[in-house]
Chain A
Amino acid sequence: MTGRRRWSLTKWVSGTFSVFALLALAALLVLFIRQSLPVWRQEGWGFLTGKRWFYRQEEFGLAPMLHGTVAVALVALGLAAPLGIGAAIFTAEFLSTRLRLIVKVAIELLAGIPSVVYGLLGILLLRDWVYEAMERFEPLSGDTLLTGGILLGVMILPTIMTLSDDALRTVPASQRLAARALGLNSTETVLHVSLRQALPGLVAAILLAVGRACGEMIAVFLVVGRQDNQWPDKLFSAKPLLEAGQTLSTKLGSSETNIAYGDPLHWAAMVALGLVLLALVTFITAIGVRLQRSPHET
């Protein structure tokens, strides 16, 4: 725009609102850091690595919850990423524009199903289903990290699908045409041209979905069992998946948030939990956004 630049009412108003928004964001960060200080002072880095959380004894360690969060997110990803990307390849590469649009609209609608509705389905249907399907592995109950992960997988499926579809569609049509002209069929074009070109975008789709998954509370809350101190004996085994667990966000949604309110140290621990979750999700999201915005620079 080439209008003459000077302070006008419009600029002033929009500047004020913008500053207000950025201040609120900064306030969120500052408040979370400040209010969590007491627990950092008491536990130090042990807050992250500690395996015991007993608030009545003022012991706060969130390693088991980190494990829970990662486990649930990985299960979700393991289900949703192959299915979602596979489906996106089909809609982006093999479907006619009109059909693709219809599928995409439907999928984006489904991305909007509220998490509390997923929670309801989870507690009344999925729990029992997992419990029966896994019977020979003898899970204690249907409330397991696996149940939470499956539910999350279904929840992030539309996100992965539609973002992957977008990523594949940003590959210029000219590149596809060139590949076809060289004699490749459409599958080979996808494998050698589209997927390679869209790779950063696909990774971004996965990361953004994982960011969502880590922060999801309500749905997981109702099916994960909310059992504290579930640090697994063997870190890289699938067995803990069939046990109940706790994630960072389900802890934040539990009755402990109410109980902690008014008790400085316990409250600090809960807020610190939130801070760790914020850092984790922000980190994942930021990488995702970076990748998404530079799709053709590699």
Chain B
Amino acid sequence: MKLAILFPTLLSLSAAAETLKINGSTTVNLPVAEAAEVLRAEKKMDIQIDTQGGSSGGISMLGEGLVQVGMISKHVSQTDREKFPKCQYKEIQIGEDAVALIVSKDVWEGGVKTVTKEQVADIYEGRIKNWKEVGGPDRRIVFFNKEPGRGTWEVFVHWLYGDPKKAPQVSFPEVGGNEETRNKVASTKGALSQLSSSWADGKTVFALSLKVDGKEIAPVTANIASRIYPLSRPLFVLTNGEPSGESKVLIDFLLSERGQQLVKKHGYLPLAELKAPETRP
């Protein structure tokens, strides 16, 4: 067989190449993938990017040593650390984003612009099934849930229940990628889902404000920057221990002026615009 002859030559080649492997969240992927394009062109770096399994895929593949950099749109949880005790997870923030609750046009125009945390929990647990119960049109609520493992989902249940493990058992139609979510919400009447706020374009899908202590807080830049909006979340790249070598080159670039421009270009908040430090238990 030809492969038998190819094998040794290829194996010897593999030692020479220094490939930087990245995997994780599709949300963080956008600026990182574009940064990688720049580094590939300018520094001739060999960078491979994938988005298998979202944030949790990034955490587990870094934990197993299959990649050098993870991309996550949520924090590394204690459970994650226990699952991979050998990995010294180091989170490096590259920007800020928020999880928005997005609705379809008919809901938005039907008058639903704000919801409270309690209402969201009621919808999630199936106690509220119709938009008229939250001041909207008489239409059933179609909730598209982000699939498990997605950072967006974890941030959402963390806000509602404090811990993903405490989230109640529910079954909804599931969506995976951000565009899939946007597309399905936009084309379905009475639809609601969780989506990175930068994808809520205000034309096909609309981001609801959250009512906190009587104040309506919209997921807009100012509120995300000051972290008043409760579902804001940091966007991280993740390394095992202090970044070094190729990983460090990438991360330095992401934190540089040009890298931060890419973060901004994709609708996220660059670090310089962040006003308040994160408060997290």
Contacts and interface: CB of A to CB of B under 8 A. Distances in A.
Interface string B111-154: 00000000000000000000000000000101010011110000
Contact of B57 (A127, A228, A258): A258
Contacts of A57: 169
B171 A227 contact: yes
A141 B142 contact: yes
A226 B173 contact: yes
A225 B174 contact: yes
A57 B140 CA distance: 29
B187 A255 contact: no
Contacts of A226: 147, 173-174
B234 interface: no
Interface residues of A, number: 30
B60 A261 contact: yes
B171 A256 contact: no
A141 B53 contact: no
Given A123-B180, A131-B187, A227-B174, 14 more contacts: A55-B148, A57-B169, A141-B173, A142-B187, A143-B173, A226-B147, A226-B173, A227-B171, A244-B173, A254-B147, A254-B174, A255-B57, A255-B149, A258-B60
B64 to A, nearest CB: 8
Nearest to B63: A262
A249 interface: no
A283 to B, nearest CB: 28
23 contacts: A56-B165, A56-B169, A57-B169, A123-B180, A124-B183, A127-B184, A131-B187, A131-B188, A140-B142, A141-B142, A143-B173, A244-B173, A254-B147, A255-B53, A255-B56, A255-B150, A255-B176, A256-B149, A258-B53, A258-B56, A259-B148, A261-B60, A262-B64
B219 interface: no
B83 interface: yes
Given A140-B142, A141-B173, A228-B171, A259 B53 contact: yes
A57 B171 CA distance: 13
Contacts of A138: 140
Nearest to A54: B169
A116 B48 CA distance: 23
Nearest to B164: A56
A294 B174 CA distance: 45
Contact of B171 (A123, A229, A259): A229
Contacts of B140: 138, 140
B200 interface: no
Contacts of A123: 180, 183
Interface in B172-201: 172-174, 176, 180, 183-184, 187-188, 190-191
Nearest to A243: B173
Interface of B: 52-54, 56-57, 60, 64, 83, 140, 142, 144, 147-150, 164-165, 167, 169, 171-174, 176, 180, 183-184, 187-188, 190-191
9 nearest CB pairs, A to B: A258-B53, A225-B173, A244-B173, A229-B171, A141-B188, A226-B174, A255-B149, A228-B171, A227-B173
Interface of A: 52, 54-57, 123-124, 127-128, 131, 138, 140-143, 222, 225-230, 244, 254-256, 258-259, 261-262
B169 A255 contact: no
A128 B144 CA distance: 16
Pick from A124, A229, A258 the residue with the most CB of B within 10 Å: A258
Contacts of B187: 127-128, 131, 142
A231 to B, nearest CB: 10
A106 B281 CA distance: 63
B83 A262 contact: yes
Given A123-B180, A140-B140, A142-B187, A259 B165 contact: no
Nearest to B145: A227
Contacts of A227: 171-174
Pick from B52, B148, B191 the residue with the most CB of A within 10 Å: B148
A228 B54 CA distance: 20
A253 B142 CA distance: 23
Contacts of B60: 258, 261-262
Nearest to A135: B189
B185 to A, nearest CB: 9
B149 A259 contact: yes
Contacts of B180: 123, 222
A124 B52 CA distance: 22
B54 A255 contact: yes
A258 B173 contact: no
B265 to A, nearest CB: 26
Nearest to B140: A140
Contacts of A254: 147, 174, 176
Nearest to B56: A259
Contacts of A141: 142, 144, 173, 184, 188, 191
